[in-house]
Structure 1
């Protein structure tokens, strides 16, 4: 196979999902039903990511079949599955220019799809990714972000602070109920009842976050649905705020802060969580403590102690020059 199918353009924020080719629609629909069934093991963000990656794979697969790069049935034949997955890996790296970590994430989604089909994961090796700390805001960007958050409306400010001061994921934030915020005169705690991997955790409230939540809860009482909807974050119609709605709120703050937004840009909502983890570890906090706060494994938390791209750049720039 030479995998010369035309490249699928990257999805822009707000763009419609990649269409599923008709020949794969039934298989995808079954997979989607499985992932979105109530009580599933994956959080909402992971479900959306998997569905998006499988859609993109199937769109590429349809084109590859059409130009005869894929011979056989890639959804039933394990040999065709393996070669198709390897060709798609090469397509992402070359035609699409994706990062190694992104390619590996796509392969993980494809493996989950094939498990659903009963074929099991494809024999496509993961790319060796250079170890580095998760991307976090620089000191200057963090200052601009916090100042912009301070100027935001109460709901936006609370969302901004809950990501930065508590390290809460976007999906976890919009899943919070009002009862999950416990505030007393001097302290408070945020209860994440079902985080990634089904983890339960309680996060102590930073004073700035406690104040922001107090302000939002006071305004929330005047919104439609406040008396009937248990959600902490409401939309303007009185329903629970969606992950997309929270993203739009955070994007507006990032725009006000002058931060570029996007997958490979300076800011994404998840960068707030990475910034919280990075700051805690680099301030000397114990890795076990930080893992408990963020609701993640020790192995994942240890990554925050690795050098960032900015650290590497700064090290290079400190090399002596002869001028």
Structure 2
């Protein structure tokens, strides 16, 4: 089994999967192997695994371990991917039938409350670093992903006092889009551009990294955001939280789904519609209002 798993993980690496993805699949498949050995007293040889085994594994995760639906579905997906590869390699005669995925109670992605946004921006203003202010504003006001923000070149930025457009040339899936820049973000960008022109005259990047010829890395950019989140006493801030906050604020201000989808670069409206779902905080307020 160890050799089969190792060959599969090598296949994932060879086909471009990230180290994070490979690590996740490894953990999920080892969990399945552990359950299989404990249940049947032998290794999970791919040719022996049946649809009944898969249903029992799913049921064990749900009813005995009490795992969340997304964890159950993710582990089943890892097993299915591995078994599909085994079939293609001739290690199993066919792919067994998999049970339906466990329905997930989906809510809106995590977004900052207004008070949290104010605390974050207050700390940014106190620090007085124009680069950090411009970087955070691009994610919070324009909905850019971290990777999109650090990939911007000078030629992608057109901002003045009364106009502003950011060109994202390689968004998710290689999509091109133009994003309007609102007033506060325009002001932050202009202030950073004035400083940047003197500090990095030869760099083509909006946010230069350790050397002029390289941009700031996504990891470095996110550490900057986390620094201000810590100062503002905001816990569990994730890489997409500022983007989620931008989308949520646009919808609450009256923007429609098509407009928000265009800003975020979503190809499908159902990707944007998740922001219309109530958050845990929204549900808590609703319950409080309805309490007798």
Q: CA deviation at 1:320?
A: 4.2
TM-score by length of 1: 0.72
Judge conservation of contact 1:31–1:116 (CA < 8 Å) in 2.
Answer: no
Equivalent position of 1:3 in the other structure: none
Q: Deviations over 1:61-110 (max 9, x none)?
A: 45456657584556x54836984697378548865x65434544555566
TM-score, length of structure 2 as denominator length: 0.79
Matched, 1:138 2:116: no
After TM superposition, the structure 1 = structure 2 runs for residues 255-274 of structure 1, keeping only pairs within 5 Å, are 255-261=230-236, 267-274=237-244
Superposed CA deviations along residues 114-157 of structure 1, whole A, max 9, x for unmatched, are 65664879724322122422221122212212222333433322
What is the CA deviation profile of residues 21-40 of structure 1, one whole-angstrom value per residue up to 9, with x for unaligned ones?
7763332122123125xxxx
- Residue aligned with 2:234, SS: coil
- The yes-or-no answer on 1:170 pairing with 2:142 is no
Instruction: Work out whether residues 29 and 79 of structure 2, in 8 Å CA contact, stay in contact via their aligned partners in 1.
Output: no
1:123 is aligned to 2:98? yes
Alignment of 1:54-93 (within 5 A): 54-61=25-32, 63-64=34-35, 67=38, 71=42, 73=44, 76-77=46-47, 79=49, 83=53, 87=57, 91=61
Alignment of 1:177-216 (within 5 A): 177-216=153-192
1:233 has 2:202 as partner: no
Q: How many residues align?
A: 282
C-alpha distance in 1 between matches for 2:219 and 2:52:
34
Larger Rg, first or second structure (1 or 2)? 2
Where does structure 1 lack aligned partners over 5 or more consecutive residues?
1-20, 37-46, 262-266
CA distance in 1, matches of 2:52, 2:16: 23
What root-mean-square deviation, in Å, do the aligned CA atoms of Structure 1 and Structure 2 show? 3.4
Report how far residue 268 of structure 1 moved.
1.4
Is contact 2:143–2:247 with CA below 8 Å preserved after alignment? yes
Unaligned segments of structure 2, at least 5 residues:
89-93
**How far off is 1:312 after superposition?**
0.9
